[in-house]
Amino acid sequence: MHRRTALSVSAALLAAAPLLTACGSDAHPGAAAVVGGQRIEVSSLQAQVEDVRAAQQASPNASQLIRETGDLSRRKLHDMIFDRVAAKVAEDNGITASRAEIQQARGEFVRQSGGEQQLRAALLQQRGVAPDQVDEVARRAVLMNKIAAKLGAGNTPEGQKKLTDAFSQASKELRIDVNPRYGSWDDEKIQLATYTAPWVRQISQTAPEAGA
């Protein structure tokens, strides 16, 4: 994979309804989802949402930021599930993300954005990512780049299909069960059925402005 393509994949994957105080589904009380037998607690999901909302409230454009991030609970749950699918694909292919690689990716995002503050502002506004969640975005980017390279998946329709097939298979093997109040997980599209974020299309996009 060329350097420019890798950075485009990284940037594209960087991921104002009220919080849902869920008691969980009947099968998994207190869980927002169960992935590979491991629970994603509603409390963990809410903590991520509250982290973002706190950062948004501290912004002079708080109302606009909250409005533009939409249904943040589903957005964050999508990311939490997707990260576990990505982790399985990475493990299946002998791929890891070291601390040094994560920091290098973050440094590249900072460079593309024109500075640390600009990066944080762009991610908060465009992706609903709180400042202390930026490293997770960088980690996801590192894994996605390495997975794409390992599978020989370039920025082409054929390459996208390789990624889709690998992630779809991993998703099915994890037997993802989502609390109905958040929707359901689509193994083919690799996303919450109630959350419109087709990640394969995002992969094909060029790096957005401001390193988002």
Compute the distance between CA of residue 132 and CA of residue 136 in angstroms, rounded to an integer. Answer: 9
Question: Cβ distance 126 to 119 under 8 Å?
Answer: no
Residue-level pLDDT, tens digit, the chain, 212 residues? 444 434 444 443 433 222 223 333 455 678 999 999 999 999 999 999 999 999 999 988 899 888 888 789 999 999 999 999 999 999 999 999 999 999 999 999 999 999 999 999 999 998 899 999 999 999 999 999 999 999 988 778 888 898 999 999 999 999 999 999 999 999 999 999 866 553 434 433 323 332 33
Q: Would you give the distance in Å from CA 170 to the centre of its chain?
A: 16
Structure token pair of residue 98: 């070291």
First to last CA, the chain: 21
User: What letters, b where the CB count within 10 A reaches 16 and e where it falls short, cover 127-148?
Assistant: bbbbbebbebbbbbbbbbbbbb
C-alpha radius of gyration, the chain, whole number = 17
Compute the distance between CA of residue 170 and CA of residue 57 in angstroms, rounded to an integer. Answer: 37
Helical ranges in 69-208 per DSSP H = 72-92, 99-113, 116-127, 134-151, 157-174, 199-204
